[in-house]
Amino acid sequence: MNYHVMTLFPEMIESAVNCSILGKAIEKHLISVDAVNIRDYTLDKHKKVDDYTYGGGAGMLMAPQPVYDCHKALIDKISSDKKIRTIYVTPQGKVFDQALAQELSNEEDIIFLCGHYEGIDERVLEEVVTDHISIGDYVLTGGELPALVMMDCISRLVPGVLSNEESAQTESFDEGLLEYPQYTRPEVWMDKQVPQVLLSGHHANIDKWRRERSLERTKKRRPDLYEKYVMNNKKE
């Protein structure tokens, strides 16, 4: 998986991806992250990339020319026969979830376009963007953190990035349910005892207990997911 991030703050991307599991995946050549500075492509003699909005209103907008030229340079560099998914990271997009991460993990290259200021001129978005994606219904100062969130989530799904042990584990959103509670040693901590069933070695009972806790937890914390789960399992 090769990520290409169009941004005005490449150092924000670079400083985050070289740590932990993503850093190891880069070392192992399972993923690559190329952060490209949009400002390097402006033809403005003062290196400006933004301008006032037509029709008035507060704030500046990113101008079309540097964004378009930066994107063109990337497409030329990637040199693929396939249409490259270009994701505009925006609170106005479809909300990112595990299913979308799964779908995107099948791509060879993904371009993330990170906006700043009040956004980007609509005409260049129409020219280059294939997907508008948000990470949730709240507004951040720019697209870099959402792009990092998506890269982190997608990368875990790329074969080899997680160890077999990590990837075989059940996790939240498997089947649309939240994960059950887990415990490690000591057996008693602050007068709290690890549930007896987990010490029993009886695998069928443990599975049953975990499933019940998953359902109970999802119903309490995420009634929206629980409803969906109940609906989906009714149909079968």
* Site of interaction with ligand ADE (CB under 6 A): 89-91, 134-136, 138-140, 143, 146
Shortest Å distance, C-beta 18 to ligand ADE: 22
CB nearer ligand ADE, residue 90 or residue 218: 90
What is the distance between the alpha carbons of residues 146 and 38, in angstroms, rounded to a whole number? 17
Token representation of residue 224: 């929206």
Shortest Å distance, C-beta 34 to ligand ADE: 20
CB nearer ligand ADE, residue 25 or residue 87: 87
CB nearer ligand ADE, residue 134 or residue 214: 134
CB nearer ligand ADE, residue 26 or residue 140: 140
Shortest Å distance, C-beta 112 to ligand ADE: 10
Shortest Å distance, C-beta 59 to ligand ADE: 13
What is the distance between the alpha carbons of residues 117 and 48, in angstroms, rounded to a whole number? 13
Give yes or no for a contact between 206 and 181, defined as CB atoms under 8 angstroms apart. no
Token representation of residue 34: 């190329």
CB nearer ligand ADE, residue 64 or residue 143: 143
Shortest Å distance, C-beta 114 to ligand ADE: 8
Strand-strand pairing, 32-37 and 188-189:
unpaired
3-state secondary structure of 158: coil
CB nearer ligand ADE, residue 124 or residue 177: 124
Shortest Å distance, C-beta 89 to ligand ADE: 4
CB nearer ligand ADE, residue 134 or residue 218: 134
Shortest Å distance, C-beta 150 to ligand ADE: 9
Strand partners of residue 85? 110
- The DSSP call for residue 58 is S
What is the distance between the alpha carbons of residues 178 and 189, in angstroms, rounded to a whole number? 24
Burial of 7 (0-12, 13-18, 19+ CB in 10 A): buried
Strand-strand pairing, 109-114 and 60-62:
unpaired
Give yes or no for a contact between 8 and 139, defined as CB atoms under 8 angstroms apart. no
Q: How far apart, in Å, are the Cα atoms of 158 and each of 18, 33, 67?
A: 17, 14, 29
